[in-house]
Amino acid sequence: MQLWITDRTYRRRMRQILATLARHGLGWLVLDLGLGRFLPFRRLRGKHAATGPEHFRQALEDLGATFIKLGQILSTRPDMLPPEYVAEFARLQDDAPPVPYEQVAEVVRTELGRAPDEIFRSFDRMPIASASIGQVHHAELQDGTAVVVKVQRPGARELAERDLAIMADLAALATQRTRWGQSYDIESWMREFDFTLRNEFDYRIEAANAEQFRREFEQDEVLYVPLVYRDFSSESVLTLERLEGIKISNVKALDEAGIDRRKLARESTRILLTMLFDHGFFHADPHAGNFFVLPDGRLGLMDYGMVGYLDAYLKDTLLRVVMAITSRDADRLVDELLVLGIAQENIQRYTLRQDVQHLMRRYTHKPLRDIAAMAAFQDLMNVARRHRLQLPAELVLTAKVLGMAEGIARQLDSDFEVLSYAEPYVRRFWLQSLAPSRRVEQTKETFLDLLDLTATVPRNVRRTLRQSEQGAFQLRVRTEPSPESMRQIQRAANRVAFSVLTAALIIGSGLLMLVYDPAGARWFFLITFVVATLLGMGLLWSVWRSGRF
């Protein structure tokens, strides 16, 4: 992958990113990536060597929308970052000044073929919310139906494309050059982020998500999913039914309306558990601002841009993890973590088991009602991070959703016991996974796989034996040098080149002083000789300090 391409805009943005990192004391990160030579001010390299999470957050804010999104996604990955970074990145707000109405109208006209005033009976010129990707306006259809219209910001996609290209190159460098980049496979993780962010730029995906939730909860008496108006939606414009109600976080208004908050806490938790374990398709950002209590008492849920998926394998594994936690079975939990985790280094099972046991002892004598699900999950993620065990993104996202459900429920009812409430649901879903029909289906799939294997193995073995008899069988072994060894080789090569250049300057300037002596030039050669000598002494000093002669 070529880092520096001919695109002038790309190069300018890359320099801006490096300068911003250095300004916030993150020059060490630039040096780790091998890009120190591109720092605009070399004196900033050593400044703030031990940068705190606040500096990192400020750097992401200064770098703009794409990097803010990156920080927000990282705030959901406590298995990769220390708790203080997760907490700091969670403070990142994706706010942006509103786009003028004329530009909004132009986007609507381009996407839908007509101006907003021609499509809608009314269209509020001032948005009710404005973010880096789009902004939301109140409007009414010609028949008087109240809707919200999300319109993408002009130029937002192009800016994100540029930043994503740079992030991909930086992630490749991190994976190649740094130990932490290899341990967490930053390049693969960045590809996931790229996929997630690009989906946010296609409002047709959000529309499809909302429609799927509406189908799945069509018979539910509590959750209401807004209707999507496809005739007034496109890739960059999304029109949804407007939900009017009380925000679930407005406890005072709920009490004044006579809403049973304890029942509401149970129902909101039930909805999220149903998404996770029944459907395997869940709302990935169910914070309190996206829940509304409608006038008829039902719960309305908005914003379907971020969703998560749990396939049958991950659902089964999640069930086993939850049951291991609730039953305080350390051995089972260690087994599930090792099955799930992705690690670039050998993990000592005994050490991991010790850490998990220590964690379990903290909760052994506590009843379930006194255990905060999010706190227990955070402790578990700290253990995974210490052992460089990267868990699947969907599983970590699931835990985040459960933590949000706990936060909403306890805000409504401080005595609500999330784990106690969830335990019978988990056990019921677990029993469903053991149902005979499910086992028959799994056995059928296994049998078909064995048939395919039986048909292909003899042919492959015969081909291998024939190649071996003919002497055409070759075994190729490829070893990849470690980042540390590559840095040592590069450092040694740099010293050799520096030594040769210094020696050439010393010898050349000395000879020129003897054979070439025009007026005033002798002093120039003398200064060159002194500087070269000092450089040579500096090189000897650095070699002596390293202890390697």
Q: Of 352, 350, 338, which is closest to residue 391 (Cα–Cα)?
A: 338
Which residue stretches of the chain have pLDDT < 70? Answer: 1-6, 38-51, 325-326, 341-346, 364-374, 430, 432-453, 455-457, 459-460, 462-488, 490-491, 494-495, 497-498, 501, 505-506, 509-525, 539-549
Burial 85-97 (b: 16+ CB within 10 A, else e): bbebbeebeeebe
The answer to whether 132 touches 65, Cβ cutoff 8 Å, is yes
pLDDT confidence of residue 29: 83
* 194 is annotated as an active-site residue: no
pLDDT digits (tens, 9 = 90+) for 243-267: 989 999 888 999 999 999 999 999 9
Could you tell me the CA-to-CA distances from 498 to 37, 535, 536, 540 in Å, in that order?
Answer: 16, 9, 9, 11
Three-state DSSP at 539 gives helix
pLDDT on residue 46: 46
Measured CA to CA, the distance from residue 417 to residue 405 in angstroms comes to 11
CB atoms within 10 A of CB 433: 16
Strands 237-241 and 246-247: unpaired
pLDDT at 210: 95
pLDDT at 128: 92
Please answer whether residues 182 and 16 qualify as being in contact, where contact means their C-beta atoms are separated by less than 8 angstroms: no
Give CA–CA dist 164/547, Å, rounded.
Answer: 42
**What is the rounded CA–CA span in Å between residue 424 and residue 513?**
91
Q: What is the pLDDT of residues 456-475, one digit of tens each?
A: 667 667 666 666 666 655 66
Residue 197, Cβ density class (10 Å: 0-12 exposed, 13-18 middle, ≥19 buried) = buried
In angstroms, rounded to a whole number, what is the distance separating the alpha carbons of residues 425 and 356?
25
Neighbours of 208 (CB within 10 A): 15
Give me the pLDDT at residue 116, please.
95
Residue pair 97/148 in contact (Cβ under 8 Å)? The answer is no
- Cα separation, 405 vs 90, whole angstroms: 17
pLDDT value of position 404: 82
Q: Single out the catalytic residue among 79, 285, 355, 379.
A: 285
**Given this model, what pLDDT does residue 104 score?**
94
